[in-house]
C-alpha cells in the first residue's frame, strides 16, 4: 500500500469558518503576535493570552469538517495516509482522519507551564487564571508559540521521508520550519499542491489551483482510481 502524506495549513480550516492568522482579515491584524503567541507575552499578561486562546477554542467547537477533511478519510481506504498539519483545531480528527500530527499544538489540549509532558484534554470549559497542574503551575494552552521548539518536527521529517505521494493543501508554505518539510521527500515522490494561490512556483509539483474543499476531493478521486 502506497504512503500518502498531506501537509495542511490554515486554508483547509478556513472553509469551515475558522479565522486564519495571516490573511488580510486574519487574527494577526487584530492582535499583536508578541502579546498573545510568545512566552514573553504569556509572562507579561496571562489573562490576555488565555482570552485569545479561549476564543479560538470556542470558535473551533462551532466549526465542522468540510469536504477536504472528509476526502482525506476516503483516501485512507486504499492508501496509508498521514496528515501533518500546522492547524491547531481538531477538524481532521472529527472527519475521521486517523494519523494526524499537529506541528503547532492542539487547541483541544492544555498543559502545565513548567512541564510540557503534563498534557490534559481541554473539553469542559475555558482555561482561567488559577487553573493549575499537579505541580502547582498555571495551566496554559497546548500550543507551540513563536520562539518555542517545534518538538514534533523530527517526527514529521521521518514521515515525509517515507512518502510515495506528498500533498500540500491550504498552506502558503511561508512559515518555517514547517515549510521546509517539502525538502525531505525521496527522489521519486510524486508531489501535489492544492491551493487557490499556488505557492510553489518553479518546483516539481502538480498544481490544483482551487480551494481545498473542491480541489482535494478531485485529487483524491484521481488517486483512488489509480490505486
Residue with cell 483541544: 108
CA distance 29 to 156: 30
Torsion of CA 177, 179, 180, 185, to 10 degrees: 140
Catalytic residue flag (residue 31) = no
Instruction: Measure Cα distances from 86 to 2, 108, 121 in Å.
Output: 23, 14, 19
Catalytic residue among 69, 92, 102, 104: 104
3-state DSSP call for residue 211? coil
The answer to whether the peptide bond before residue 26 is cis (omega within 30 degrees of 0) is: no
Phi, psi of 18 (to 5 degrees): -90, 125
Catalytic residues: 104
Amino acid at each position: 500500500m502506497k504512503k500518502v502524506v498531506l501537509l495542511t495549513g490554515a486554508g483547509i480550516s478556513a472553509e469551515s469558518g475558522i479565522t486564519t492568522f495571516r490573511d488580510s482579515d486574519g487574527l494577526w491584524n487584530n492582535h499583536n503576535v508578541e502579546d498573545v503567541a510568545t512566552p514573553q507575552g504569556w509572562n507579561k499578561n496571562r489573562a490576555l493570552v488565555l482570552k485569545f486562546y479561549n476564543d479560538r477554542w470556542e470558535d473551533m467547537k462551532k466549526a465542522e469538517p468540510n469536504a477536504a477533511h472528509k476526502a482525506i478519510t476516503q483516501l485512507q481506504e486504499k492508501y496509508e495516509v498521514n496528515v501533518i498539519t500546522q492547524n491547531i483545531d481538531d477538524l481532521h480528527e472529527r472527519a475521521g482522519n486517523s494519523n494526524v500530527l499537529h506541528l503547532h499544538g492542539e487547541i483541544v489540549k492544555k498543559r502545565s507551564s513548567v512541564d510540557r509532558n503534563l498534557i490534559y484534554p481541554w473539553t469542559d470549559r475555558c482555561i482561567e487564571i488559577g487553573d493549575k497542574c499537579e505541580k502547582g503551575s498555571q495551566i496554559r494552552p497546548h500550543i507551540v508559540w513563536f520562539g518555542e521548539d517545534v518538538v514534533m518536527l523530527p517526527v514529521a521529517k521521518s514521515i515525509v521521508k517515507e512518502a510515495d505521494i506528498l500533498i500540500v493543501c491550504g498552506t502558503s508554505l511561508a512559515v518555517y520550519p514547517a515549510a521546509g518539510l517539502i525538502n525531505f521527500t525521496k527522489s521519486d515522490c510524486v508531489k501535489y499542491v492544492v491551493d487557490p494561490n499556488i505557492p510553489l512556483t518553479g518546483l516539481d509539483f502538480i498544481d490544483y489551483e482551487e480551494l481545498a474543499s473542491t480541489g482535494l476531493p478531485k485529487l483524491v478521486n484521481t488517486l483512488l482510481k489509480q490505486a
